Structure 1
């Protein structure tokens, strides 16, 4: 367990937020079979970060592989055009959403920016924290990976539909 793990009082509200599914279906971490016990195990491996409104959580091109679980607040996801001159909003996400999964999985640089629209609280998981979680909880780690894979697949399908639609 990380020394900066989500504290017990915060865990209850974080778990409630993810269970409530406040995020849009394509952004939500869907783990319907997880009880409080499983969520508590996961949040024991995550670090809390507060992001003031207007600050960046993720910047394009960064080599960081941290995976973020949005606990409260709203963030805008912004991508830069190929010419590097214009930016466009891809999504606005809130509690229950997951961010940073692409770099978490492939180790590549960040492909988009995430800016706090309101003050935000996120739980962060590095690949090393995931490895520790997986070592102690292999079945839960596998379930989490499939849930993250579902989010990636859903986002890819939405992007494909926009390109061909």
Structure 2
């Protein structure tokens, strides 16, 4: 359980009313990570995911030679680890705090309680996360299209 003021600080919850934020605060935990500390490892289980309040996290993947390669960077105001959490799969990346990070976490156990006791609030939370994940997917789709020289023709779809 965290103070409602911490939930208020998180941009992700700006559309939640005060009652929803109070209820949500009962299910979240406050966590922090020092610069260089791993939030999770590639291949580790996803028993919780995070709502980043402050800080920068580098996302890394092991390459074919055993070296870590940075593939992305996330900043405060976003969820992190949600895909593996909801898919029930191991994390596909390693997340390392690139400066001091403050976050809220939602464990699987607390998420299940939230769904059972406050299904409408759980749906609202999932809708917000879904919107963010969808935006990420659209951005990656555009990058992919740019790399392979696809372009949009008159709203009719991607053409080469």
Sort the TM-score into its range (normalised by shorter chain). 0.7 to 0.9
Deviation at 1:108, TM superposition (A): 0.9
Find the counterpart in structure 2 of residue 41 from structure 1.
Answer: 23
Q: Which stretches of structure 1, 4 residues or more, deviate above 3 A after TM superposition? A: 84-88
Give the match for residue 50 of structure 1.
32
Q: Residue 73 of structure 2 aligns to a residue in which SS? A: strand
| Structure-2 separation of matches of 1:14 and 1:32 | 9
Higher fraction of strand: 2
1:105: Cα distance to partner?
0.9
C-alpha distance after superposition, 1:68-91 (max 9, x if no partner): 01122221122334x254443333
Contact 1:78–1:114 (CA under 8 A) maintained in structure 2: yes
Question: In structure 2, do the counterparts of structure 1 residues 13 and 130 end up closer, same or farther at CA, with 3 Å as the change threshold?
Answer: closer
The structure 2 residue matched to 1:126, chosen from 97, 107, 113, is 107
Cα RMSD of the aligned pairs, angstroms, is: 1.9
Paired residue for 1:12, among 5, 14, 22?
Answer: 5
Aligned with 2:20: secondary structure? helix
8 Å contact from structure 1 (residues 73, 119) kept in 2 = yes
TM-score, normalisation: structure 2: 0.80
| Relative contact order higher in (CA < 8 Å, ≥ 6 apart) | 1
In structure 2, relative to structure 1, the CA distance for the partners of 1:84 and 1:101 (3 Å cut) is farther
SS in 2 for 1:153: helix
* 2:126 aligned residue: 145
Q: TM-score, normalised by structure 1?
A: 0.78
**Matched pairs, number:** 146
Cα distance, 1:133–1:163 mapped onto 2, change above 3 Å: same
CA contact (8 A) 1:65 1:100 kept: no
Which runs of no fewer than 5 residues in structure 2 stay unpaired? 147-160
Answer with 1 or 2: which has the greater Rg: 2
Equivalent residue runs for 1:50-89 within 5 Å: 50-81=32-63, 83-89=64-70
Q: 1:36 to 1:95 in 2, by over 3 A?
A: farther
